[in-house]
Homo-oligomer: A and B are copies of this chain.
Amino acid sequence: MFDNSQQFASDNYSGICPEAWAAMAEANRGHERAYGDDQWTARASDHFRELFETDCEVFFAFNGTAANSLALASLCQSYHSVICAETAHVETDECGAPEFFSNGSKLLLARTDAQGKLTPEAIREIALKRQDIHYPKPRVVTITQATEVGTVYRPEELKAISETCRELGLHLHMDGARFSNACAFLDASPAELTWKSGVEVLCFGGTKNGMAVGEAILFFNRELAEGFDYRCKQAGQLASKMRFLAAPWVGVLQDDAWMHYARHANQSARLLAQLVADVPGVSLMFPVEANGVFLQMSEPALEALRQRGWRFYTFIGAGGARFMCSWDTDTARVEALAQDIRAVMGAA
């Protein structure tokens, strides 16, 4: 039943990690107050405040689409715009969710550098391009950490971006669907990669790092959180049995399982990259920093790989394939994949 070959298609193909599961089991004892007025929600929130070394406001939403879109909507009015990378998930894969939740805020696409990152220059260019009333007024910058192409913003890059934002009167939001992987790669503290670098709101993804559902939204600038509880409720993102969204966070945060798993995912990616580094005809499209490996290979080679049963995405342009590692990636499967890549390239 379990299809090993799908293991590299997406990190959300993975299941629930033992720590999250155990916490859910523990939370599943008897009755508890609903809508977040329970002990697990309180505990999870405290864990976040401790982990981030600050008294942030914490909310939970069911998935990343909603978490990011609600966060952006809370920073925007409908006539504002959001500056994002042309490769940003909110632009390419949310079916217009940011526009829906904000009732019309436009996403303005900024070019990225060779590593798929926004730069102060790119932000400034977009933010200053139009200053008239006939075009939505830029109000927020959103960056993805780690990026959609597996790279990671360094603290100094974040600081340069947040300074540009401050100067231009823009809020700074971070889509942290793979924030764990960024922390693991840099061995930097969550605080350093967020509010200490000027990030005002973080959507911290749990789903891709061992949970079933449930992303956390952290407002480091507490004033921006005003009314966010109502916003979540109205938008269908307030769980009645909230403990089952919160408990898994307690599970993965209390003994650093989140970091452990993120490291494993990153290492798996690095291993795959290393194992195919010397294969002729295969090249890395982006540095392997987080848990994704983007390989440039010929189309026939990719097809041959598919014939061998492997599943992966190829949305990055002709001949580009994405292999994602997750919290439970099997090292033997990484080696098998690497071997098959070598094999199909040899045959080509």
Contacts and interface: CB of A to CB of B under 8 A. Distances in A.
A62 interface: yes
Interface stretch (A63-71, A147-155, A275-283, A298-306): A63-71
Interface residues on A, range: 35 or more
Given A10-B34, A31-B7, A241-B15, A233 B99 contact: no
A196 B261 CA distance: 50
Tallying the copies of this chain within the complex gives 4
Given A133-B229, A239-B62, A33 B13 contact: yes
A106 B234 CA distance: 11
Contacts of A28: 15-16, 21
Given A79-B96, A99-B106, A133 B12 contact: no
Nearest to A78: B100
A72 to B, nearest CB: 12
A241 B35 CA distance: 22
A82 B244 CA distance: 32
Interface in A79-113: 79-81, 92-97, 99-101, 103-106
Contacts of A31: 2-4, 6-7, 9, 13-15, 326
Interface of A: 1-4, 6-7, 9-10, 12-16, 21, 24-25, 27-35, 39, 61-66, 69-70, 77-81, 92-97, 99-101, 103-106, 133-137, 207, 212-213, 227, 229-231, 233-241, 244-245, 326
